[in-house]
Structure 1
Amino acid sequence: MNGVAMSSGQEFKYIVRLFGQDTDGRYKAAYALAMVKGIGYNTAKGILLKAGLDPNKRLGNFTDAEIKKVVALVSSKRIEGLPVWMYNRRSDYESGTDLHLVTSDLLFYAREDIEREKKVKSWRGIRHSLGLKVRGQRTRTTGRTGGTVGVRRSKQGQQQQQQSK
Structure 2
Amino acid sequence: MARLVGVELPKNKRIEIALTYIYGIGKSTSGEILQKTGVDPSRRTDDLTPDELQKLRSVLSNYTIEGELRKVVGMNIKRLMDLGNYRGLRHRKGLPVRGQRSRTNARTRKGRRKTVGGKH
Scaled by the length of structure 2, the TM-score of the pair is 0.85
Q: C-alpha offsets along residues 3-29 of structure 1, whole Å, 9 cap, x if unaligned?
A: xxxxxxxxxxxx111221211231111
Hey, what does 1:37 align to over in structure 2? 23
Residue type of the alignment partner of 1:25: K
Q: What displacement does 1:148 show?
A: 1.6
Scaled by the length of structure 1, the TM-score of the pair is 0.64
Q: Which structure 1 residue ranges, 4+ long, deviate > 6 Å from structure 2?
A: none
User: Higher relative contact order by CA 8 Å / sep ≥ 6: 1 or 2?
Assistant: 2
Hey, what does 1:150 align to over in structure 2? 117
Hey, what does 2:38 align to over in structure 1? 52
Q: What displacement does 1:140 show?
A: 1.5
Structure ranking higher in helix proportion: 2
- Greater gyration radius: 1
Q: What displacement does 1:142 show?
A: 2.5
Query: Gapped runs of 5+ residues in structure 2?
Result: none
How far, CA to CA, are the matches of 1:28 and 1:117 in structure 2? 39
Query: Gapped runs of 5+ residues in structure 1?
Result: 1-14, 78-100, 154-165
Hey, what does 2:71 align to over in structure 1? 108
Q: What displacement does 1:42 show?
A: 2.2
| RMSD, aligned CA | 1.7
Give identity over the alignment, percent: 34
Local SS of the residue matching 1:34: helix
